[in-house]
Structure 1
Amino acid sequence: MTNKRLLPVSAKDMIKVFSKIGYQIERQRGSHVVMSKGEEILIIPNHNPVSKGTERELIKDAGLTVEEFNNLLKKH
């Protein structure tokens, strides 16, 4: 059975997951953390929890599926 359900997640946890796949924190401006991996950039709102729509878009932009993201989240 696949787990495609989006789990509620904080910005801190999203940053940990994206760090595992090679993204690095570049800077923080206000309530947004900018992470990059080469030319790819993710802007993560520093909220707890991150809204579901934003979470889904960031996961997609990072090249992950919801299932892959959830597996990485459980391993931290």
Structure 2
Amino acid sequence: MKYREVARKLKALNCQELPRRAGGSHRKWFNPNTQQSSVLPDWGNRDLKVGTLRSALRQLGIDWDVFNKT
């Protein structure tokens, strides 16, 4: 799954992308429901690894099944 698809789903789940303070290929996300944050790589057209995505969702307090149904 590409970063844009993940970002669209996270926004639908009420998560917010925090403003970037510097350059780089990673973006920080915040879940206001759980008060938790995580970092996701933005590799453009390259797919994110499933383990990386699942780990970030776990850190945000989002269930994998809920994320896939969004």
Q: Same fold (TM over 0.5)?
A: yes
Q: Name the CA distance, whole Å, in 2 between partners of 1:49 and 1:27.
A: 23
Q: Choose the corresponding residue for 2:67, options 66, 69, 72.
A: 69
**Residue from 10, 33, 40 that aligns with 2:36:** 40
**Percent identical residues:** 17
The normalised TM-score by structure 2 is 0.73
Structure with greater contact order relative to length (CA < 8 Å, sep ≥ 6): 1
Q: Deviations over 1:5-43 (max 9, x none)?
A: xxxx11111111111122111124410111223442121
State the AA in 2 paired with 1:30.
G
Q: What's the counterpart of residue 19 of structure 1?
A: 11
Q: How many residues align?
A: 64
The DSSP-based 3-state class of the residue aligned with 2:18 is: strand
Indicate the RMSD between aligned Cα atoms, in angstroms. Answer: 1.6
Over 3 Å off, 4+ runs: none
Gaps of 5+ in 2: none
TM-score, length of structure 1 as denominator length = 0.69
